[in-house]
Structure 1
Amino acid sequence: MRQNAVAAVLRERGGPFALEPVRLDAPRAGEVLVRIEAVGICHTDLSVRAGHTPGPLPVVLGHEGTGVVAQVGAGVTRVSAGQRVVLTFDSCGACPPCREGRPVRCDHWPALNLFGGGVCGGRPFGTRLDGTATMRAADDGPLHGHFFGQSSFASHALASERNAVPVPDGLPPELLAPLGCGVQTGAGAVLNVLRPAPGDTLVVFGAGGVGLAAVLAARLTPAARVIAVDLQPARLALARELGADEVVDAGAADPVAAVRQLTGGRGAECALETSGSVAALRQAVGSLAVGGSCGVVGAPPAGSEVALDVPALLGRAPRILGINQGGSVPQSFLPALAGLVRSGRLPLERLVRTYAFAEIERAAAAAACGEVVKPVLLLT
């Protein structure tokens, strides 16, 4: 039986999110229906709305959902009805990377999480891998969903058991929701991929939700110095409060020169670009010490390119790493992050502002202008 739900539907590029009744498919084999309690608004949601990230219309977005499992399909063993879960990216579970324990490199990642399936292979956008829709409008009209395997700007979301990760009870839903993407991406890039060693300097370009999650995570590592770079003084002040040793206002100083001055001319062993600015990416690479590593998580519009000094690449031997979802294995990493939140070692409450679901337009505007680091919609 289909589930009646209310969802924030985007019907025109750059248009508003409008709350509308929708109907969700019943869970199929391997799928779960989740009653959403809270969902974060992420840059990627706003990028699709603006047309910077390709996607179909009409569509239900949202990919930082958390809630309680309401129903499970046949063969589901990882979660059960009544269990609290955080929703994250989806994976097929059967391709070579998935079988090797690297779900973030799933062969079907674009089709399962964004809209990479398209129609080129005979499958519509925003559907399951077999081309079937997960949701319909109340009048039975077409509606695209399955965004990051969830489309959680809704009272209920249909997910797979692979992207519904059980977490302990007792944490506020507004602190659990951002774990599924933004926090996983920023903290995971530091803890899982860059892994700064004792004495290293880490410079984080962009002090938004992802960048500040990276700053918080860096304080859990042996890194000797954490530097935050941004254009907004208020964000830099918050970064310092959250543990950055130094901050650089990129509107007032050359970040590359500033990082080199702060490191005695050496440069940073690790850099992380989170803003999606190609200019910032070039600066991040330029700020590295010889042999340093630059992680790239910021997503500019499709087709964006960056120019790099090739002789400098040869002479300084940097590593430039594209990092998706913090390189994480969600089934183990998300509960670990939840534990850090519970202990107070990952104070996400400093980043979050909550809104009622009906205030989604106000929350999206606050995120777009940088007024709020991480808006979270409450549905309970």
Structure 2
Amino acid sequence: MEAFVLIRRNEADIIDLPNPILSGPYNAILTPIAISVCTSDVNTVYGSGSKKPDNLILGHEAVARVLKVGENVRDFTVGDIVVIPSMTPNFHDKDIQDGNFLHAGANFSANTLGRSTPGVFAREFEVADADLNLALLPEGVSIGSGLMCTDMATTGFTGAKRVNFGDTVVVLGIGGVGLMAICGAALRGAGKIIAVGSRGVSIPLAYEYGASEVISYKEDNITEYVLKATNGKGADVVIIAGGNDKSFSDAIDMVRYGVGKVVNLKLFTGDGSMEIPKFSSGRGMSGKSIYMELGEGGRVRMERLLSMVRHKRFIPEKIITHTFEGFENVKQALELMRDKGNTVIKTMILTGW
């Protein structure tokens, strides 16, 4: 079968691999009908992470058709069109009972598709625990919106879950995750939402999804701007969805003492440290809270997001700026996401399968 794989660091291509074999009675084999390349796929190919398996199949964002189900799968049948969350928790580990869905049994145990286990960029792929990880694409929800729920919406909304109504919120970054964080914050009843970014195609969408204003890190000292806009108090919540290594310390600088929350959704690549400034952290006693998050996964999470889309609470497919026809375009989409020009937010590849 055709599969888009990491051949070696800095090189990915479509090669021929054996079809997957159903490995458990609770699992399913699927074929993707639409996929999207994520920035983390770019980091897997061109970044400096841990050693990956040979010919690792990439990808973790897909809407797919069910081809085969294990004998113990109850809720899905061959032919169903489903949304696959990018995070597929290990529901068989006891850590689940502690609510530790993303790291049950091992660090990043939910975060394996296209990273440590074969991903979705192949004519066929397997998903564990189908009844707990797949979600039917509802009538009235487009393939594009379903696809954007798998990672962008769930991750952005994970950042927004710390928002209370009336809060002043800052979102650093207006890519796909940042835009969905803005949307999630608005839906949770935030007051002022200050978005930070300069990507031209994203600015109108930031306002559409709920930003009160969009400022550019290229033109403003964002910490000074936020402190001035909040009469020196700082924001109630700062969500990091983009930026650079300084963004973490900037977030701590601009969040309130005592009740302020910094939520990080950004992957900080490479080694070294993410610095916490002594002064703005109250020399360790500021009462500011830091949350380091992955997007939430699992079936129920997807069904909730898809219900919101179905009932027109938000339209995530608007962040798709480039659509390709045919799986052979996946490499072009990867390079597009790597370069991230002023007109790019997210891609969608309709496989034709």
What is the TM-score of this pair, normalised by structure 1? 0.83
Confirm whether residue 317 of structure 1 aligns to residue 287 of structure 2: yes
2:138–2:310 CA contact under 8 A, matched in 1? no
| Cα separation, 1, equivalents of 2:260 and 2:333 | 38
Confirm whether residue 297 of structure 1 aligns to residue 295 of structure 2: no
Indicate the residue corresponding to 1:32 in structure 2: 28
Say which of 180, 186, 190 aligns to 2:160: 190
Unaligned runs of 5+ in 2: none
Of stretches 227-236 and 44-53 in structure 1, the one that deviates more from structure 2 is 227-236
1:360–1:377 CA contact under 8 A, matched in 2? yes
| Cα separation, 1, equivalents of 2:67 and 2:245 | 43
Confirm whether residue 360 of structure 1 aligns to residue 313 of structure 2: no
Indicate the residue corresponding to 1:226 in structure 2: 193
1:146: how far off?
A: 6.0
Indicate the residue corresponding to 1:376 in structure 2: 348
1:1-380 alignment runs, 5 A limit: 5-54=1-50, 55-88=52-85, 89-111=87-109, 113-114=111-112, 147=115, 151-160=119-128, 161=130, 162-191=132-161, 194=162, 196-275=163-242, 277-290=244-257, 291-314=259-282, 315-325=285-295, 328=296, 330-352=298-320, 353-356=322-325, 357-371=327-341, 372-380=344-352
SS in 2 for 1:219: helix
1:148: how far off?
A: 7.0
SS in 1 for 2:22: coil
| Cα separation, 2, equivalents of 1:31 and 1:38 | 20
SS in 1 for 2:127: strand
| Cα separation, 2, equivalents of 1:234 and 1:265 | 31
| Cα separation, 1, equivalents of 2:43 and 2:318 | 24
| Cα separation, 2, equivalents of 1:304 and 1:227 | 29
1:38–1:378 CA contact under 8 A, matched in 2? yes
1:57: how far off?
A: 3.0
SS in 2 for 1:11: strand
The verdict on how the C-alpha distance between 1:180 and 1:304 changes in structure 2, with shifts beyond 3 A counting, is: farther
The verdict on how the C-alpha distance between 1:165 and 1:330 changes in structure 2, with shifts beyond 3 A counting, is: same
2:194–2:212 CA contact under 8 A, matched in 1? yes
1:269: how far off?
A: 0.1
The verdict on how the C-alpha distance between 1:334 and 1:112 changes in structure 2, with shifts beyond 3 A counting, is: closer
SS in 2 for 1:264: coil
The verdict on how the C-alpha distance between 1:208 and 1:50 changes in structure 2, with shifts beyond 3 A counting, is: same
Unaligned runs of 5+ in 1: 115-144
Indicate the residue corresponding to 1:127 in structure 2: none
What is the TM-score of this pair, normalised by structure 2? 0.89
Q: Counterpart amino acid of 1:288?
A: V
Percent identical pairs in the alignment equals: 22
2:252–2:280 CA contact under 8 A, matched in 1? no
1:229–1:236 CA contact under 8 A, matched in 2? no
| Cα separation, 2, equivalents of 1:305 and 1:276 | 15
Q: Counterpart amino acid of 2:335?
A: A
